[in-house]
Amino acid sequence: MSQIRFEGLSKSYRGAFALNGIDLDVEPASLTVFSGPPGSGKSVLMRILIGLEAPSAGRILFDGQDITLLAAAERSIGYVPQSFALFPHMSVFDNIAYPMALQGVPRPEIAARVDQAAGMLRIRPLLSKRPSQLSGGEKQRAAIARGILKNADIFILDDPLVGLDFKLRESLMEDLKDMRAEIGATFLYVTADPLEALTMAEHLVVMDRGRVVEAGPVDAVYYDPTRLRTAELVGFPRCNILPGHLDPTSVVCITAVGALRVALEDGAVPSEAVVAIRPEDIAPAASGTAPLGVGEVTLVENLGSESVVYVRFGETTLVTTIPGRATVHIDLGDPFPFTIRPGGPILFDRASGRRIGRTTGVPAEMQDG
């Protein structure tokens, strides 16, 4: 299994950096999602890895061996591009079989593997058709089949499910995870969709403006981000980001939703902080308890098992998730007394964006007041 390492990898176009000093080890035999907003450099990094573009600086190592200058054909990477790039004059079957045929895989084996993948991707009836006869979603699935059937242990999937029906995406995500587990390969998976990133990732690489903001196992990145930008970019629904002012005693942080007790991680005590509050860390206050504040409901998005409730509180709109059953009777304009779960919200230094601590609760005296 190849261990992929990027070292000081940069790419500039006419002086503008698309990638700016990427140092990263990709976990072998795992599914790593590269996520970030459009233009963050995810796709450029993939194109360089596969050999479609050369970096401006830095190297790529496979098992310690420098492959930066190796031709694309010699890298043996399976690739599902964003654009489907199917050959129009070939049948769907031949399109899918093409990379294996190039690799000299025997014909019966090709037929068996195409059939298996076509079954999984529900395109068996389409194998004799031409790409021009397929819908967008069908072309996409043909392109996925072609990319993943190559004999390789590294596969790049560049936003493979974009634009597909919601339910089709749900089942294809499951199938792709099964496929990866079955062949034990390294998958590098690009998406700009925050929920897809979390659903797919074993490891998560958060990218922004040509740099890696943070990388690690998906739970660590989601629950314990070390960078403010990570909290902003990772999560669905999006994280609440509130400016805060640390009290000189540094045990409370004053924010728009009130004072929060904090535990700082190290000696540094900046006065200006930012608090990142995940939607699930804001909860309706239990009746009979003093809420931290009372906001007004501006929208309830019903997802079935959970609801996303948007709550206006002063100048701030808070995003919260609560179990769907609990929101049946909540309507627009209703008062929403809320509290914040202790231990959830994370504190960042506003200037550096680094994590400096966690909130531990709401000061008792403020709660009583």
Partner 1 sequence: MADVRVEGLRRQFGSLLAVKDISFVFPQEAVTCLLGPSGCGKTTLLRMIAGLERPSGGTIRFGDRDVTALPARRRDVAMVFQYPVMYRTLSVIENIDLPLANDRTLTPADRRRRVEEVIEILELGDARRLHIDRLDLGSRQKVAVGRAIARRAAVTLFDEPTTNVEVHAKLALIRAFKELRRHVRQTIVYVTHDQTEAMTLADQIALMRDGEIAQCAPPRELYDEPNSEFGGWFLGNPGMNFLSSRPAQGGGFVVDGVPFPLIVPPAGLEDVRFGIRPEYVRIASAPLPDGVSARVLRRAVAIGGQHLVTLAVGGSRIKAKVAPAVGPSRGAPEIGAEVFVVCPIEHAMLFHRGERLADPPRRLASSPGGAG
Kindly state the DSSP code that residue 98 receives in the 8-state scheme. Answer: H
Closest separation in Å from C-beta 299 to partner 1: 5
The span from the CA of 192 to the CA of 229, in Å, is: 15
Q: Which of 304, 364, 365, 369 binds partner 1 (CB under 8 A)?
A: 304
Contact flag: residue 302 with partner 1 (CB under 8 A): yes
User: What is the total count of residues that contact partner 1 (CB under 8 A)?
Assistant: 46
Specify the DSSP element, H or E, that contains 344: none
Q: What Rg do the C-alpha atoms of the chain give, in angstroms?
A: 24
The span from the CA of 329 to the CA of 343, in Å, is: 29
Nearer to partner 1 among residue 65 and residue 302 (C-beta) = 302
H-type helices in 224-363, by residue range? Answer: 228-233
Contact flag: residue 279 with partner 1 (CB under 8 A): yes
CA atoms within 13 A of residue 20's CA, in its CB half-sphere: 12
Q: Which of 63, 66, 170, 265 binds partner 1 (CB under 8 A)?
A: 170
Q: Which of 122, 129, 130, 341 binds partner 1 (CB under 8 A)?
A: 341
Nearer to partner 1 among residue 109 and residue 170 (C-beta) = 170
Contact flag: residue 1 with partner 1 (CB under 8 A): no
Q: Which of 122, 177, 261, 354 binds partner 1 (CB under 8 A)?
A: 177
Phi-psi region of 14 (alpha: psi -120 to 50; beta: other; left: phi over 0): left
Closest separation in Å from C-beta 266 to partner 1: 16
Tell me how crowded residue 129 is: count the other CB atoms within 10 A of its CB: 15
Contact flag: residue 12 with partner 1 (CB under 8 A): no
Contact flag: residue 284 with partner 1 (CB under 8 A): no
Contact flag: residue 326 with partner 1 (CB under 8 A): no
Q: Which of 236, 247, 316, 330 binds partner 1 (CB under 8 A)?
A: 236
Window of 42-50, 207-215, 222-230, 249-257 that interacts with partner 1 by CB under 8 A? 222-230
Residue ranges in 23-62 that form contacts with partner 1 under rule CB under 8 A: none
Secondary structure of residue 125 in the 3-state scheme:
helix
Q: Which of 36, 235, 293, 295 binds partner 1 (CB under 8 A)?
A: 235
Q: Which of 306, 318, 336, 348 binds partner 1 (CB under 8 A)?
A: 306
The span from the CA of 286 to the CA of 283, in Å, is: 9
The span from the CA of 298 to the CA of 292, in Å, is: 18
Question: Binding pattern to partner 1, positions 110-149, x when CB under 8 A?
Answer: ---------------------------x------------
Nearer to partner 1 among residue 151 and residue 367 (C-beta) = 367
Q: Which of 301, 326, 335, 352 binds partner 1 (CB under 8 A)?
A: 301
Class of residue 151 by CB neighbours under 10 A (exposed 0-12, middle 13-18, buried 19+):
middle
Q: For the CA atoms of 333, 362, 224, 270, what is the dihedral angle to 10 degrees? A: 110
Closest separation in Å from C-beta 278 to partner 1: 6
Instruction: Please list, in sequence order, all residues whose beta carbon lies within 8 angstroms of the beta carbon of residue 253, skipping any fewer than 6 positions away.
Output: 244, 245, 246, 247, 259, 260, 262, 273, 275, 347, 359
Closest separation in Å from C-beta 366 to partner 1: 20
Instruction: Please list, in sequence order, all residues whose beta carbon lies within 8 angstroms of the beta carbon of residue 89, skipping any fewer than 6 positions away.
Output: 130
Order of strands across the sheet with 154-158?
77-80, 154-158, 186-191, 31-35, 203-208, 211-217
Q: Using an 8 Å Cβ cutoff, are 187 and 157 in contact?
A: yes
Q: Which of 19, 22, 127, 300 binds partner 1 (CB under 8 A)?
A: 300
Closest separation in Å from C-beta 164 to partner 1: 9
Contact flag: residue 363 with partner 1 (CB under 8 A): no
Which residues of this chain interact with partner 1, rule CB under 8 A?
Answer: 137, 165-168, 170, 177, 181, 195, 198-202, 218-219, 222-224, 235-237, 278-280, 298-306, 308, 310, 321, 323-324, 328, 332-333, 341-344
